[in-house]
Structure 1
Amino acid sequence: MDKKKVLMIISQENFRDEELAHPKEVFLQKGFEVVIAAGEKKEAHGSYGAKVMPDITIADAAKEKYDAMVVVGGNGASQYLWGNQTVLGMVRAHHAAGRPLGAICIAPVVLARAGLIKGVEATMYKSPDTVAEFKKHGVNTSDKDVVTSGSIVTANGPAAARKFGLAVAELM
């Protein structure tokens, strides 16, 4: 049987290092294949110095199917991912197929903008922008560090990254 594949979507610049590293580590320990996607297939940079060569571009990743999909947070998510129509389409299609979908830190705004968590309990890193986005899109904001609502897992930031990875893995 083929390994289960997890797509981790990161921003080209300023993704949060631990929010990629810790869930990725969990997924690899569980025996899953991890594919990292960014806007371009060139070195991506984390907020704290991580350097990652994406395996695939977001555009190419959109043509594939994955067992789970995770949108990584960090300050770059608002610039590179929140309004990315390809990413919004990918998360909608993935969710429609009933497969596990996760977003951490400020990345749950992607799920809110995609219309996937309206009226649903979810969490995120609280900033004026994320709070406004959740309110605008009718999300039931939780103060928990990790929230699982159906096939969607959200987490509020780097301290919850490992717990977040485990919660996504549990749904696979």
Structure 2
Amino acid sequence: MEKKRVLMVISQENFRDEELLHPSEVFRQKGFEVVVAAGEKKEALGSYGAKVTPDMTIDEAGKQSFDAVVIVGGNGSRIHLWGNQTLFNLVRAHHATGRPLGAICIAPVVLAQAGLLKGVDATMYKSADTSEEFAKHGVKTSEKDVVVSGSIVTGNGPAAARKFGAAVASLVEPEK
């Protein structure tokens, strides 16, 4: 049987380390292949020093199929991922397949901007700008750590990273 493939999208700099590393660990423990994408294939740097060389660019990832797509948060997401049309195209196309789509911390704003969270229960790391973006795009804001709404999973930040990863994994491969 082929391994399930999970795409994790990070910002080129200042992605939140735990939001990449903890869900990745959960996915690998389930036997999933983890593929990392960013704006460029050069080394990306996390907020707390994690260094990752992406496997592909976001543009290249948009030409492939994955069992799940997860967008990692961190301050770099505001700069590199919010408003990113290439990423919007990727998440819209993936969402249309009905496969799991996840975003954590401030990254759920990407899903809101892409038009995927209108009228949907979702959570995020609460700040003035994330709250404003959620309101602007008609998202039903939840106070929960992790929210599953159909095939979309959102998490509110690094403390929820493992729980978030487990929620995505359970949609990729439900417990028997």
Range of TM-score over shorter length:
over 0.9
Instruction: Name the residue aligned to 2:87.
Output: 87
Aligned partners of 2:64, 2:143: CA distance in 1, in Å?
Answer: 34
Q: Secondary structure at the match of 1:171?
A: helix
Instruction: Name the residue aligned to 1:118.
Output: 118
Determine if the alignment matches structure 1 residue 67 to structure 2 residue 67: yes
Q: Secondary structure at the match of 2:40?
A: coil
Aligned partners of 1:122, 1:153: CA distance in 2, in Å?
Answer: 8
- Structure 2: which 5+ residue stretches go unaligned? none
Kindly state the Cα deviation for residue 59 of structure 1 after the two structures are TM-superposed.
1.0
Q: Secondary structure at the match of 1:153?
A: strand
Aligned partners of 1:62, 1:92: CA distance in 2, in Å?
Answer: 10
RMSD of equivalent CA atoms = 0.4
Kindly state the Cα deviation for residue 31 of structure 1 after the two structures are TM-superposed.
0.1
Q: Deviations over 1:81-114 (max 9, x none)?
A: 0111010011011011100000000000000001
- Structure 1: which 5+ residue stretches go unaligned? none
TM-score by length of 2: 0.97
Kindly state the Cα deviation for residue 149 of structure 1 after the two structures are TM-superposed.
0.1
TM-score by length of 1: 0.99
Aligned partners of 1:55, 1:90: CA distance in 2, in Å?
Answer: 16
Aligned partners of 2:52, 2:13: CA distance in 1, in Å?
Answer: 10
Moved over 2 A (4+): none
Instruction: Name the residue aligned to 2:32.
Output: 32
Determine if the alignment matches structure 1 residue 57 to structure 2 residue 57: yes
Aligned partners of 1:60, 1:150: CA distance in 2, in Å?
Answer: 27
Q: Secondary structure at the match of 1:92?
A: helix
Q: Which amino acid aligns with 1:7?
A: L
Aligned partners of 1:31, 1:86: CA distance in 2, in Å?
Answer: 29
Q: Deviations over 1:135-157 (max 9, x none)?
A: 00000000000000000000000
Aligned partners of 1:57, 1:155: CA distance in 2, in Å?
Answer: 24
Aligned partners of 1:91, 1:62: CA distance in 2, in Å?
Answer: 8
Aligned partners of 1:120, 1:83: CA distance in 2, in Å?
Answer: 20
